Amino acid sequence: MFTVKVLTATDCRKEEERIVSLLGQLSDKRVLFAPAIEAVNVYHIGAYQGETLVGLIMSTKMVGWFGNRLYLDGVVVDVAYRRMGCLQKMIRFTEELAVSLDCYAIIFTSSRPSAIVAYRKLGYKTPTTAFRKDL
Ligand SMILES: CC(C)(COP(=O)(O)OP(=O)(O)OC[C@H]1O[C@@H](n2cnc3c(N)ncnc32)[C@H](O)[C@@H]1OP(=O)(O)O)[C@@H](O)C(=O)NCCC(=O)NCCS
């Protein structure tokens, strides 16, 4: 039902309005997407229903001494297409992408109860310790 791919810079420019609208379903904050289009080690994963972009995962490869990890941000499925397996398809695609990028894990944070349920169903676990300082 959904077609998933890594969005090229050309795709991102073409879909910029749609991407900003999808990210608007995640946060009330004004989203500035343009700087992310050419960013190094950033992979935008898009899910299409026909010609329409309906899901997005923004990911960044974090290079580390002890191995690389793929950090996910901006995970959203258009409200009209939820509970149809779109996140599942994007996550499975992202896992294959992470392996191909020589990453040993996928990491992200989430405080949304419904998303947490979905992530657990897809095999994601919460670590025992996570340190953070807001700057
Ligand atoms: C969270 C979100 C990405 C899920 O996308 P989705 O395409 O609806 O998820 P899927 O249909 O692929 O569901 C995957 C699994 O999670 C479950 N699931 C999805 N949404 C759920 C919800 N609201 N409550 C409980 N379970 C849920 C599904 O039942 C499915 O499990 P199953 O295969 O055992 O049935 C989507 O609801 C969304 O964009 N929400 C708003 C933004 C958000 O919270 N993003 C995450 C920020 S970290």
What pLDDT, on a 0 to 100 scale, did the predictor assign at position 28? 84
Q: Could you tell me what percentage of the chain is helix, strand and coil, using 3-state DSSP and rounding each to the nearest 5?
A: 35, 30, 40
Q: Is the pLDDT of residue 123 over 90?
A: yes
Q: Using CA positions, which residue lies closest to atom 24 of ligand 1?
A: 114
Say if pTM beats, i.e. exceeds, 0.85.
Answer: yes
What pLDDT, on a 0 to 100 scale, did the predictor assign at position 53? 98
CATH topology of domain 3-121: Aminopeptidase (3.40.630)
Q: If you measure from the C-alpha of residue 82 to the centroid of ligand 1, how many angstroms do you get, rounded to a whole number?
A: 7
What residue segments make up the domains of the chain, in order of their start?
A: 3-121
For ligand 1, which residues put their CB under 6 angstroms from it?
26, 75-77, 82-88, 110, 112, 114-115, 117-118, 121
Query: Model confidence over 60-113: pLDDT tens digits?
Result: 999 999 999 999 999 999 999 999 999 999 999 999 999 999 999 999 999 899
Task: Quote the tokens at residue 13.
Answer: 């420019």
Among 59, 61, 55, which residue's Cα sits nearest to residue 72? 59
Give the confidence band of 17 by pLDDT, cuts at 50, 70, 90.
very high
Q: If you measure from the C-alpha of residue 50 to the centroid of ligand 1, how many angstroms do you get, rounded to a whole number?
A: 20
Three-state SS at 25: coil
